Amino acid sequence: MEPPVDDAADELLRTYTESGGINYLDAAAMLPSRPAIESACVDLMSLMFPGFHGEALADSSDLPEVTRSRIKSLHARMKPEVSKSFGQLPTSDEAESKAEEILTWFMAQLGKLRKVLWTDIDAAYEGDPAAASYEEVIVSYPGVEAIAIQRMAHLLYEKDVPLIPRLMTEWAHTRTGIDIHPGARIGSHFFIDHGTGVVIGETCEIGSHVKLYHGVTLGARSFQRDDQGHIRKGGKRHPNVEDHVTIYPNSTVLGGETVVGARSTIGGNVFLTQSVPPDSLVYYEAEQMRVVPKHSHAQAGRDFLSE
C-alpha cells in the first residue's frame, strides 16, 4: 500500500534540510531562471541575425527602433538573473551594480562579436559544397547556432559570471547536439560541419580557420585528484588546435598538453593523446579491404560449399 500523500511530502521535505549540494532551501530564489536564459538566447540570436529567426519586421526602416528596443528589454530581463547568479539572497546593491556593469559591457560587445560570426558563416559557406547560400547557412546550419551562442556565453564567462554562460551553451547543446563549453577560446572562421556529437572542453584553445566534423571530441585525458580522492578543479585539461587545422569525423584529441600543429589534418576515427607538429597528416592504416563483383563472390561461396 502506498503511503499517504502527506507522509510522502513530509519525507521529501526532510531531505531539503539535510546537508548536500542540492538541498539548500533558498536555491530557487538564488539560481538564475533557466527559462529566462533560454528566452534571452532566442533574443540574442535575433539580434545577431535580424529576420532569420521568425521575428517579423514590417519594414527595414523599423530595424533601428526594434534593435534598440530588444537590447533594452534584454538588458532589463537579464539583470536580475545575473544578480542572482552571484549567490546572494536577497541580492545586494553591490550585486545589482556589478550585474549592470557587466551587462552594459556585454551589450557593447555584440557589434564586434557579430563581425566575428560573419567569418564563421563565410567559413561554412566556403567549406561546404552543399551550401547553396549564406541565408541557408544562417537559417539551417546547427554549427552556426552553437558557435554564436558559445561566443556570446564566452563573453560572460570571461567576466566570471556564474551559471549563466553554461545555461546558454547547454541550450544550444540541446538544440544542436553540439557541446561547446563557454570557456573554450575559439578563433575566427570556425566551421563545424554537420556537428552532431561534437564536444569541446573548457580549456580548449582553437585557432582561426579550423574545421571540425561530426563526432569530434576535444577533451581531457585524465584528472588529478587531491589527498581525499576528489577531482581537482581547474587547470589546463584540453588540447590546443592551431590555425588551419581540419579534424575529420569521430576523432578524439585529448589532453591539456596536446597541441595539433597548424595546417595539420587529423583523419577520421583517430585517437590522439600526443602533440603533432605543423603540417602533419594523422591517420590509421586500414586493414586490407577487398572489393569484388557480387556474382564472383557468390560463385566463390558456392564453390566452397560444394567442396
Q: Residue 304: what pLDDT? A: 45
Q: Each residue of 27-86: pLDDT tens digit?
A: 666 789 999 999 999 999 999 998 776 666 656 778 888 889 999 999 999 999 999 998
pTM of the model: 0.87
SS3 187: coil
Strand pairing category for 240-241 and 259-260: parallel
Sheet strands (E) in the chain: 179-180, 185-186, 191-193, 199-200, 205-206, 211-213, 217-219, 240-241, 246-247, 252-254, 259-260, 265-266, 271-272, 281-282
Q: Residue 75: what pLDDT? A: 96
Cell of 100: 549592470
Q: Residue 15: what pLDDT? A: 78
SS (H, E, C) 264-297: CEECCCCEECCCECCCCEECCCCCCCCCCCHHHH
Q: Residue 79: what pLDDT? A: 95
Cell of 149: 551562442
Q: Residue 126: what pLDDT? A: 97
Do the Cβ atoms of 192 and 177 come closer than 8 Å? Answer: no
Report how far residue 34's alpha carbon sits from residue 36's, in angstroms, rounded to the nearest whole number.
Answer: 5
Cell of 101: 556593469
Do the Cβ atoms of 95 and 32 come closer than 8 Å? Answer: no
User: What is the residue-level pLDDT of the chain in tens, covering all 307 positions?
Assistant: 456 777 888 887 777 777 655 555 556 667 899 999 999 999 999 999 987 766 666 567 788 888 899 999 999 999 999 999 987 766 788 889 999 999 999 999 999 999 999 999 999 999 999 999 999 999 999 999 999 999 999 999 999 999 999 999 999 999 999 999 999 999 999 999 999 999 999 999 999 999 999 999 999 997 777 777 777 788 999 999 999 999 999 999 999 999 999 999 999 999 999 999 999 999 988 777 788 787 765 565 565 455 5
Give strand pairing partners of 253. 218, 272
Residue-range domain boundaries for the chain: 26-152, 184-307
SS (H, E, C) 210-263: CEEECCCEEECCCCCECCCCCECCCCCCCCEECCCCEECCCCEEECCCCEECCC
Type of residue numbered 169: T
Q: Does domain 26-152 have CATH number 3.30.420.40?
A: no
| Contacts with 266 (C-beta within 8 Å, 6 or more apart), sequence order | 245, 246, 247, 248, 251, 253, 260, 272, 276, 282, 283
- Torsion (CA) 137, 139, 141, 145 in degrees, nearest 10: 110
- Torsion (CA) 226, 229, 230, 234 in degrees, nearest 10: 40
Looking at 3.40.50.1970, 2.160.10.10, 3.40.350.10, 1.10.15.40, the CATH number of the domain 184-307 comes to 2.160.10.10
